[in-house]
Structure 1
Amino acid sequence: MTADAGLSVEDVLVEGRKRSNAAAILSKLDVERGTPILSFSPEQAKADLEELPWVKRAIVERRLPDVIYVKLEEREPLALWQEEGVLHVIDQSGEVIASAKASKFSKLPLIVGPDAPDHAREVLALIQSEPELGNRVKAAVRVSGRRWNIRLNNGVDVQLPEEDANDAWSFFARIERDEGVLERDVIVVDLRLRDRLIVRTSGGAEKNKTKKVKGKKT
């Protein structure tokens, strides 16, 4: 009766779609042109749409007389997470985006470690707090669920402390700007000790520099 009265679906308007598959959206809506619009359930459509891998939230409305309106909020990729040699794309909350192919997101930062996604936002903020140094980062590796090693693109490992990691990273950035530590034969920069920076070279030598950074040896 509603179709006879002109209350039938003539158009579906979707806003906010960037990466979600259009055919999958229409399949979840399960509506065709000519369907009585009052028989369409926005609540069910919302629940079904939010099952799609890229959809974080969905708003679905009947706009009488003949339009189904959908507004999507999609999940934003944050980083690549390496788990047992396999790369996954994670979103801003650290959840894996199941359908995302890592090969299409190769420019995202890389994190490694079983619990790395739970702490991804904090370590990425730390890295980005020093842009010049951050541009040289290849990966952030979570160690024993407590702290991070930052692998630079020249192979150097920067070992951050469990506490006050931001201060340690900023200190190292200042030292690098002033002294060009990374231009030397360095393989490890150890910032885990409370009062000093230790540089290890490929020949096994160590050099110490006092620093004003609090932290624990781990």
Structure 2
Amino acid sequence: MKSSGKLSERLGSFPDPRTRIAYEAESLEDWELLAVLLGRGNRAQPIEDLSREVLHQCRGLGGLLQKKISDLTQIPGIGNAKATALIAAIEFARRLKWEALKGRVYSATQLINFLSTSLIPKNRECFVLITLSPEGTVLRAEIVAVGGLEEVGVQTRDLLKIVLNDAASAVIIAHNHPESSSKPSKEDIWIYKNFGQLLHSLGIRLLDQWIFGIDGIYSCKEGKVL
């Protein structure tokens, strides 16, 4: 057995991603990682073609994050078992990312990245509540209502109950405008001002309201798209 040569060169004779992932997981392409999750292809498509087709249909990993089981099973070659495995992997990754964020000192950049890539789907309107401790660490960042803001009937008393239970000293609220501009509506401004006043009366700061749209992220505090 030869000992010379780089590890990646010696492993060149093992094209199977399931073999390579044990040695060089970080070097695998997106389709190769997806192939490992999917396991096997079918009579019509080898796993290499199937995993590439999934990424193509989803327009990359970003699109895959937004898919539901019913969406994935519309892709030829993806049945319920493969679709549920992918959804489980996506949810697992989301939770790992949250665990890495939870308890850290507040960073607007990290929170916005977490919300836009891991929490807020692009095809549904969601209202998110973020609470911070007196020390400035993140206590909570979760969806508290799904649907249109008016339709789901976001109640300030429900939000306030969560904030008080967390013993938070500062709060951020956020929601998205699927397929539309991040420009705040009258209702968005009303919620930001009135909820902020309510929190202020209790000695709690409302740091901002972020609105995610197709043109970027609007900051109600800054009065502009970030």
Give the TM-score normalised by structure 2: 0.30
- Structure having the higher helix fraction is 2
Task: Select the structure of larger CA radius of gyration.
Answer: 1
- Structure having the higher strand fraction is 1
